[in-house]
Every structure is written in C-alpha cells, then in structure tokens.
C-alpha cells in the first residue's frame, strides 16, 4: 500500500528555515572567533551574511525569533563592532597623550580622525539597516508607515480580530526595540564624533527613545536610555526622573536601580561640597533689591533699565535652580538608598527654602524654573512624579524583613509622606497667591498629585501619622481647600455636582 506524502505546513517550513539559518550563523560565528584567535584575516562577507540571516529569522518566524532572542543577538552583532571601534579610538588617543618629546610615536597624527570617519560610516550604515528593518516589519504586520504616530492607536482600536491584534502587537514590540537600537546608534555617533562634550547634540537619540517609549509604555528600557542622555549633560535631576520612570513601569529595567545608586552617591558628594559653600554665604538671595516674605523677588522695571543687573539676576536664578535641584535629588537619594536618615530634616528644610525662592511671590507668576511656561510646568510635574515614586518605592515590602528594617521602613514612610505633602502644599499656596491662578504653570502638577491621592485613599487619609507628617498634611489640605474655593469663584471648578459642568 502506498503512503501519501506528508504535506508540510508553511509554519513548519519557516521554522526549519529559521533553525537552519541560526545554525549557519553559529558556524560563521565560530569561524570568526578562530580567525581572531589565530590572528588570521576573517571572511569580510561573514558578518554581513550573519546579519542577513538574523533579519530573515525575525521576518519569517516571530515566535522562533522571540524564543532565541534573535533581535537582541542581532544588536549584539552590531555592538561588538562598536566596541572594537571604541577600543581603537581609545588606544590611539592614549598613544597620542603618552607621547613625549624625542620619543618615536607609531600612531600617525590623523589616525584618530580616520578611525572616527570609518566608525561614523559604520553607524550611518547600521542606522539605515534598522530603518529598513522597521519598514519591513511594518509591511509584514500591517502597521502604518508612520509607526510612532497616533495611527498605531487607531489601528489597535479598530482591530476587532484577536489574531490581527496579536500580529499588530508583535510588530509594535519589534519596532519598539529597533527604535532603542536606533537611539543607541545616534548616541554613539554624537558621543564619538568630532564635536566636544559641550556642543554635542543628542536630540536625534532622544527622539528615537521617546518614540520607542510611545510604542511600548510598559517597557522601562527607553526611559533608562533617556536617563543616560541626561547624565551626559550633567542634569542629575532629569536623570533621576528618567531612572524612576524606568523602574515605575510594568516591565522595569533593572539596571536603572544600580545606576540610580551611583547617581545618588555622586550627588551626595557634590551636595556635601555645595552645602559647605552655602554655609559660608548665609545671606544668599535671588535678589538683593527686595526680599518680600523672605523670598528673592526682583523688580522687572528696574531690570529693564539696567542690563548688567538683569544678567546678574539671571545668573542668580540659574544658581538657585542648580542648588535646589542638587538638594531635591539629595532628599530623594536619602529615601531611596536608606542612608544618612539623620540629615533628612536639614535637607528637606533647605529644599523647601530654595523652592519658595524659585516660586517667587506677588500676584504675578515668575518663570524661574525654565525658559517658558511649558518648561516650568514640565519641571514641576517631574518633581511631583519623583516624590510620588519615592513614596511607592519606600512602601514596597520585601520578604523576611528584620525588626530593625521594619522600624526603618516606618521612619522612611513618615519622611517620604512629609516631603510629598509639604512640597505639594507650598505649590498650592503659591498658586492661591496668584492674580490668575487658572493659568498657572503649577496646575498640571497639582492635578497629578490630586489624582494620585484619589487613586490611593490610604495615602490620602494617612495611618499612624506622627507630628511632622501631620503638619505637612494639614498645610496641604488647608491650601487645597483654599485653591478649590478660588477656582469655584473663577468658574473653573464647580461645587454643585452638576454632570453637565466641567469640574477641576
């Protein structure tokens, strides 16, 4: 009796193809390693063949690719090349710096420049490769070409077919990862380019990371990369914000916790020097011309008359923003690392004092935190977000805690709540003082804080509240009631409960 030949399904054939290509790449990888070990010239086409094979696996069999982490392995293929270029650049730079007069130097003067040029070409080519890969993924999974636009959300909403929805999500995850790699390529291009550290522009890398985060909000990886960019510019406050965002999502990026500890230690050392300098200048004020209610406030008309004084006060503002940021980071560093708790009260007091100076006083709002209202609003919003995450991080309970650790956690919670409610209370107070509170840049942060409390009634009510925390909570709720009354008077908020009216 004859047996009918078995018909292979398309999934079986693609799986076999993927397996065969993966095995082929293992052979090519071993060949490259042998060539390196024996110091023999390697096959110049092997690297490109491996990349092409990995790309085929990604596009042909998503499940196989996920199982063997092929997208990451493909990036590692590029990253090893990047590491080689970095080592060559560092070696050439080291040889040049160690050269002394009369000593024969083997490195040519233009060696580093040539290496940088080849490195830049590689990064540009790799960038093009990943752009093409995103395009191919978009076509395969039926994604709109503007993969990071609102079109994605519309596609997901309209995809009633569960199978179609699953395919879209597969494509989104792949594009999300590719965008992170594109951000890294743009970062390396700027980091090892011709420009010095001051003039480097990481806008392209930042855009890629932000697009990646928009495609997969639950991933902490792109936020971690944004924190690295912030650290390059020395903006510790922004770096801490992005590191916190990296840990606060559904899929936290664990490396962020280690990097946070390093960042907080760096801030601790800098803050020690800064606080020492501040003690030698107790009369520090944002303005020497007026100190209404103890806050540095300058007369705008006077500044317009004297440009030199205006420049001086701008520098003073920048100085206050810097000291406030360092103090704010130190405060959260104490709570995150659970060290130096005895200094918390002093640091909190200094932070609130600097906050009040920057918030200014009087009926008109002054943009002391940034260049415009939107930037000021964003900075205050980030500060509130950091405080909220600090509370949740302290609230996390770990297993097998000792009695001492339980007691420490209680103190940490009291301190975290005190800082959050006191900070929010002062920005509420400032908002009330304004002639036009409805247009204040403080409102977005206030709204986020209130929504957070609404979602966590236990936090809003408070349990086992000690004296300092009780005082901070009292200030906050009193100011909140006053602000709501003011907003009701302006018509922005309603106390009637009418569903047809917009309520704050």
Residue 300 has pLDDT above 70, yes or no: no
Place of tokens 């704010």: 328
Q: Residue 110's pLDDT band (boundaries 50, 70, 90)?
A: confident
Yes or no: say if 496 and 479 are a contact pair by the CB < 8 Å rule. Answer: no
CA 443 to chain centre: 23
Q: Exposure string (b/e) for 89-124, b if CB count within 10 Å is 16 or more?
A: beebeeeeeeeeeeeeeeeeeebbeebbeebbebbe
Residue 497 has pLDDT above 60, yes or no: no
Closest CA to 414 of 350, 331, 470: 470
| Bridge partners for 219 per DSSP | 251
Higher per-residue confidence, 241 vs 296: 241
- DSSP structural state of residue 68: T
Q: Tens digits of per-residue pLDDT, 353-375?
A: 999 999 998 999 999 999 899 99
pLDDT of residue 307: 46
Q: Tens digits of per-residue pLDDT, 10-19?
A: 566 899 999 9
CA 237 to chain centre: 10
Mean pLDDT of 197-221: 95
Q: Tens digits of per-residue pLDDT, 388-405?
A: 999 999 998 766 778 788
How buried is residue 355: exposed, middle or buried, by Cβ count under 10 Å (0-12/13-18/19+)?
buried
Yes or no: say if 143 and 171 are a contact pair by the CB < 8 Å rule. Answer: yes
Residue 189 has pLDDT above 50, yes or no: yes
CA 262 to chain centre: 15
């Amino acid at each position: 009796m004859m047996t009918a030949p078995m018909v292979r399904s398309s999934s079986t054939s693609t799986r076999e193809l993927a397996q065969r290509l993966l095995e082929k790449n293992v052979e090519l990888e071993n060949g490259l390693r042998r060539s390196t070990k024996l110091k023999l010239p390697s096959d110049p086409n092997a690297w490109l063949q491996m990349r092409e094979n990995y790309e085929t696996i990604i596009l042909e069999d998503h499940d196989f690719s996920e199982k063997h982490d092929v997208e990451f392995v493909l990036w590692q293929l590029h990253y090893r090349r990047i590491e080689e270029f970095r080592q060559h650049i560092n070696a050439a730079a080291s040889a040049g710096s160690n050269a002394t007069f009369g000593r024969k130097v083997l490195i040519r003067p233009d060696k580093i420049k040539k290496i940088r040029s080849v490195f830049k070409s590689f990064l540009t080519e790799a960038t093009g490769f990943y752009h093409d890969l995103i395009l191919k993924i978009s076509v395969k999974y039926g994604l709109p070409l503007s993969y990071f636009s609102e079109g994605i959300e519309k596609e997901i909403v309209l995809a009633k077919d569960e199978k179609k929805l699953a395919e879209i999500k597969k494509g989104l995850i792949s594009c999300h990862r590719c965008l992170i790699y594109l951000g890294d390529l743009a970062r390396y291009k700027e980091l090892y380019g011709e420009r010095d550290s001051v003039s480097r522009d990481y806008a392209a890398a930042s855009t890629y990371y932000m697009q990646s985060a928009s495609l997969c909000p639950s991933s902490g990886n792109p936020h971690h990369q944004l924190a690295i960019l912030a650290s390059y510019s020395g903006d510790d406050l922004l770096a801490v914000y992005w590191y916190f965002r990296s840990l606060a999502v559904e899929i936290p990026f664990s490396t962020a916790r280690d990097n946070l500890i390093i960042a907080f230690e760096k801030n601790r050392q800098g803050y020690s020097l800064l606080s020492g300098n501040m003690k030698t200048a107790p009369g520090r004020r944002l303005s020497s011309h007026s100190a209404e209610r103890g806050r540095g406030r300058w007369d705008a008309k006077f500044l317009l008359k004297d440009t030199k004084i205006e420049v001086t006060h701008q520098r003073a503002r920048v100085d206050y923003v810097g000291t406030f940021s360092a103090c704010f980071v130190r405060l959260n560093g104490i709570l995150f690392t659970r060290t130096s708790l005895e200094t918390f009260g002093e640091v909190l007091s200094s932070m609130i004092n600097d906050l009040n100076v920057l918030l200014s006083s009087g009926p008109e709002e002054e943009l002391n935190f940034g260049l415009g209202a939107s930037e000021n609003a964003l900075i205050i919003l980030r500060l509130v977000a950091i405080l909220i995450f600090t509370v949740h991080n302290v609230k996390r309970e770990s297993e097998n805690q000792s009695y001492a650790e339980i007691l420490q956690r209680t103190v940490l919670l009291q301190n975290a709540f005190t800082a959050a409610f006191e900070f929010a209370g002062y920005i509420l107070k400032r908002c009330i003082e304004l002639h036009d509170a409805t247009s204040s840049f403080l409102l977005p942060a206030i709204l986020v804080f209130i929504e957070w409390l609404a979602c966590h009634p236990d936090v809003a009510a408070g349990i086992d509240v000690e004296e300092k925390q009780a005082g901070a909570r009292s200030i906050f709720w009193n100011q909140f009631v006053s602000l709501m009354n003011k907003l009701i008077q302006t018509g922005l908020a309603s106390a009637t409960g009418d569903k047809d009216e917009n309520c704050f």
